[in-house]
Chain A
Amino acid sequence: MTEKRNPEVEPAVSPPAVFLERHSYRRRRLADAARLLPIIGAGLFAIPLLWPAGPGEAEPVPMSSAIIYIFFWWAALIVASAGFGIAAKRLPPREVNDPESEKWPR
């Protein structure tokens, strides 16, 4: 075992910090946003359920509008997802004594 340390030399285990450093905090909130993305997406794709359809309801939405709506938000989700991916790659890897238990891929 190579990393066996002398217990006397080893420093006492310090309690984790309460607050994060600025860049860790940013990264954490970025992860939150990335997690939020599919929920937003699901919500956006659920909106067509509210559109009038079928007999007896209001004038149905024209197909072209429907296409524009769906493809626009679809593309927006892709752009947002790509943005998060790139941002996550740019931020430095998380530090060792991470106070929160969230794990980021390295």
Chain B
Amino acid sequence: MATLNVLILVCLGYVVLLFGVAFAADRLAATGRSTWLRTPFVYTLSLSIYCTAWTFYGAVGYAARSGLEFVTIYLGPTLIMISWWWGLRKLVRVGRSQRVTSIADLISSRYGKSNILAICVTILAVLGVTPYIALQLQSITLSFSIFAEADPSGIYHEGTSVFWVAAGLAVFAILFGTRNLDANERHHGVVTAIAIEAVVKLIALLAVGIFVVWGIAGGVGPIMERIDASEIGRWNVHRGRWAAITFLSAAAFVCLPRMFQVMVVENDDERHLRTAAWAFPLYLLLMSLFVVPIAVVGLDLMPEGSNPDLFVLTIPLALGNDWLAMLSFIGGFSSATSMVIVAAMALSTMVSNHIVMPIWLSAQGRRASMSGDVRDIVLLSRRISIAVIMALGIVYFRLSGGGAALAAIGLIAFAGIAQILPALVGGLFWRGATRTGALIGLTVGFGLWIYTLLLPGMGGALMPASVLENGPLGLGWLRPQALFGIEGIDPMVHSVMWSLSLNAAAFCIASLVSFPSPLERLQGAQFVNVFDHSAGPRGWTGSVAQSEDLMIMTQRILGAAEAHVFFQAEAERQGGRGYLPEPTPAFLESLERELSGSVGAATAHAMIGQIVGGSSVSVEDLLAVADESAQLLEYSGQLETKSAELARTARKLREANEKLTQISMQKDAFLSQVSHELRTPMTSIRAFSEIMRDTEGLTAQERTRYAAIIHDEALRLTRLLDDLLDLSVLENGQVNLNMGDGNLQDVLDRAVSTAMAGSDRPLRVRRNRASERIPLHTDLDRLGQVFINLIANAQKYCDAPDPVLTISVHDVGGQAVVDFIDNGSGVPPEAQSMVFEKFARVGSDKAGGAGLGLAICREIMQRLNGEVSYLAGQGGGAFRISLPLAYKQAAQ
């Protein structure tokens, strides 16, 4: 006979085994050798936390009370699993691509990261799941008590056992569920442990079933006869309940936080769903295969009034098969523990992420984002949440007294959790679903669930019988179990029907009339079109729906106006259907190029890949990138200004450098020209002085001639040196201007007479004296020098047979302009640009000067704020002098 102590020992041994497995799996995962941990079968087995102690023990009790109705609890999930093409695949893909951590996170993320929604779902989940945890604790203590009754020597106390079981489970969940803050929220240790528990509970139930069918009844045929002969031997299922509970279990299968945890959050590879699609229904089928036989045999064998919920345990015990009873106990224990651990983990994640952390962050104010200890806080809050949830479970267990039928609590919890369904399904398949809609739908459904199912189910303490019978304040149509006066419906069906249908209706109507925020719309697009966004073949492909997302993204980067212009142009290029272009590969390429101009090619590619296909980063990341890009743009704008400045400076420097090089070259050319100019007279001076020194018997006439030549050449040298000195003084700006007031006519008179004096060539000068009476404030001697130079040039170079020089004076634009125009052939065009250069002479044959005259003129005129230039196309040599007028200068 198995004593209570042996049982406790086995239990502890089993728990130690689970700890060991979880620990080893975590270690394996940490070292990266966890591939075998992540096979589709482990995933399938981890889904089996759907089968809690409620289904392990309770299904038999359910069958004993209501016949085959229990099977609906399994048929719903079966239908969901084999319809994974429709829904689950999308759910898992969304969960993975959005890095969702819980069902509350998914809902909040879909509806624009609304924390209010997350809190609503979290509260709903805690309210729905806490009784469920209490139910598991109850089943463990009940099974303990069965063994305790059979073992008179044992000292058993229900309260302490509940406490220790809860404490042990909390420790397990804390150790393996909150060990690290993984970005993916995956817990290899826990998943492996619950996979093992899944195998254990399946084997246990099958073993009891086989024992019952072949050990007691004697085969399939006899058991069938026995079933037909029993009190549940006829099909007697309430039709409404059959449909409603199938639907409810299907909804709960998707919405239960613990199912979401193992199915979506812990999912490692989407393809595992393909295997789970048939393997999990198979698991469910095996779990329910022997339920009716066990129930029937239990009803036959066990004494009247014994609890049918515990037939799985009591039948082997009654027949003295202690080891089978032990196995069965371990099976039930497994079902309860795995469910409690995962549920506590999932709930703690939700509570800490959506309730504790927001409160903590707002309490911390701005410091929170600066400190690095957020991770520790999250882990701590999760650990505390697990402990609190367990404590709540114990409290609920104590309050409820543990007496209610197991299945009833389970179904009430299902109906509560299923209220998430409209928001979930709407969020996944309908882009028009909005946060307001989800919030109102959830509130309506949640409220109706409490009013029509939870409160009436909890008895008279919370809802007086008068309300139940006559409605609140005597309003008959508001009776909790006969809303709108429609009576006679099963309370369960009634509640599910009204709460879910009104929930869905409120959700749809509120969604239709409200308007979503941009983030909501972006998230909606990400969720509904997840297959287009997060995966797909290489090369850009897409649908029109994506253009909207691309538009939103482009606006964040390029700015609204530019983005509109760009998209409009693209749409027109494609044939002008609507405002948004089709996301053809060509369009996507050009968009990428456009964006890469702003954010760089790699980022643009990643961002388009984000919306169109490729790696799965959440929208939040995308938005963060866009914000960063905006900052980068601003920064790069500043950089651009600076670089433009730099470019300008560089250009100036380059120009200065070119000038310097030119000047240096000019200097070299100047030096060589000066040397050349000096050498010619020096050579003749030397030659003639040598002749005079060395030649005997020179006649006086010859001597005079040679001396005259030497004198002339010396004079030429002096003139050249004077000119050079003059030029260098002028160029260095060291010249002292002798400014004075005078009249242009006087200056011209003096210049003409000086230039004409001693000239052997006749030159007629034509002047209009009337126009020359212009007052000047300038260096009159220097100006005269310029005039003399120009008149002398005309004398020297004018090749006309009857040379005439016309000097005309105008007032042009506030400047006095003096033109010197002769009737010669002028300066040939190719030489015009050269005449003001030093040593530039036109036709070396007429060499009269050093070629510095015009260069000096230019320098002088620059000093006098005037200008000298060559006038082409005047029918002869023509120079123009422009100089400021006296009154202008006085005005300065």
The residues of A with any CB-CB pair to B shorter than 8 Å are 1, 3-5, 7, 10, 13, 31, 34-35, 37-38, 41-42, 45-46, 48-49, 51-54, 60-67, 70-71, 74-75, 77-82, 84-85, 88-89, 94-96, 98, 101, 103, 105-106
Contact = CB atoms under 8 A, between A and B. Distances in A.
Contact of B278 (A51, A63, A78): A78
Nearest to B585: A13
A74 B75 contact: yes
A35 B83 CA distance: 6
Given A53-B238, A67-B292, A95-B537, 4 more contacts: A60-B236, A63-B233, A103-B532, A103-B535
A105 B271 contact: yes
B213 to A, nearest CB: 12
Contact of A85 (B237, B275, B602): B275
A23 B539 CA distance: 22
Given A13-B585, A64-B224, A53 B235 contact: yes
Interface in B65-108: 67-68, 71, 75, 78-83, 85-86, 89
A103 to B, nearest CB: 4
A85 to B, nearest CB: 4
Contact of B68 (A34, A67, A78): A67
A71 B235 contact: no
Contact of B86 (A3, A35, A60): A35
Interface in B279-323: 279, 281-282, 285, 289, 292
5 contacts: A53-B235, A60-B235, A101-B543, A103-B531, A106-B535
Given A103-B536, A105-B274, A37 B236 contact: no
B228 interface: yes
Contacts of A78: 78, 82, 278, 281-282, 285
B277 interface: yes
Majority SS of interface residues in chain B?
A: helix
B82 A38 contact: yes
Contacts of A65: 235
A46 B247 CA distance: 11
B227 A38 contact: no
B163 interface: no
A77 B281 contact: yes
Contacts of B89: 105
Interface of B: 67-68, 71, 75, 78-83, 85-86, 89, 224-225, 227-228, 230, 232-239, 242-243, 246, 270-271, 274-275, 277-279, 281-282, 285, 289, 292, 531-532, 535-539, 541, 543, 584-586, 589, 596, 601-602, 604-605
Contacts of A62: 228, 233-235
B234 A45 contact: no
Given A53-B236, A96-B539, A1 B67 contact: no
A98 B535 CA distance: 14
A36 to B, nearest CB: 10
Nearest to B536: A103
Nearest to A38: B83
A48 B227 CA distance: 18
A33 B93 CA distance: 22
Contacts of B78: 41, 74, 77-78
A12 to B, nearest CB: 9
A31 B85 contact: yes
Nearest to B296: A63
B585 A37 contact: no
Nearest to B225: A64
B599 to A, nearest CB: 12
B341 to A, nearest CB: 28
Contact of A66 (B68, B83, B277, B589): B68
A35 B537 CA distance: 22
Q: Which of A5, A79, A106 has the most CB of B within 10 A?
A: A106
A1 B532 CA distance: 22
A34 B85 CA distance: 7
A85 B278 contact: yes
B243 A49 contact: yes
B85 A35 contact: yes
A49 B282 CA distance: 24
A52 B239 CA distance: 10
Nearest to B40: A85
A5 to B, nearest CB: 8
A75 B584 CA distance: 45
Contact of A96 (B246, B275, B278, B538): B538
Contacts of A38: 79-80, 82-83, 86
Contacts of B227: 63-64, 67
A80 B285 CA distance: 15
A81 B82 contact: yes
Contacts of B537: 94-96, 98
A16 to B, nearest CB: 10
A60 B79 contact: no
Contacts of B602: 1
A42 B80 CA distance: 10
Contacts of A75: 285
Contact of A48 (B82, B224, B237, B536): B237
B68 A1 contact: no
A58 to B, nearest CB: 11
A37 B85 CA distance: 10
A44 B113 CA distance: 40
Given A63-B235, A105-B89, A1 B83 contact: no
Contacts of A84: 277
A45 B80 CA distance: 13
Across the A-B interface, give the 4 residue pairs with the lowest CB-CB distance, nearest first. A38-B83, A82-B278, A81-B278, A1-B601
Contact of B243 (A46, A63, A74): A46
Contacts of A85: 274-275, 277-278
B235 A4 contact: no
A55 B671 CA distance: 133
B285 A4 contact: no
A33 B812 CA distance: 97
Q: Which of B67, B277, B601 has the most CB of A within 10 A?
A: B277
B231 to A, nearest CB: 10
A97 B589 CA distance: 17
A53 B233 CA distance: 12
Given A49-B239, A63-B67, A103-B536, A71 B289 contact: yes
Contacts of A74: 75, 78, 281, 285
A13 B584 contact: yes
B278 A49 contact: no
A37 B278 contact: no
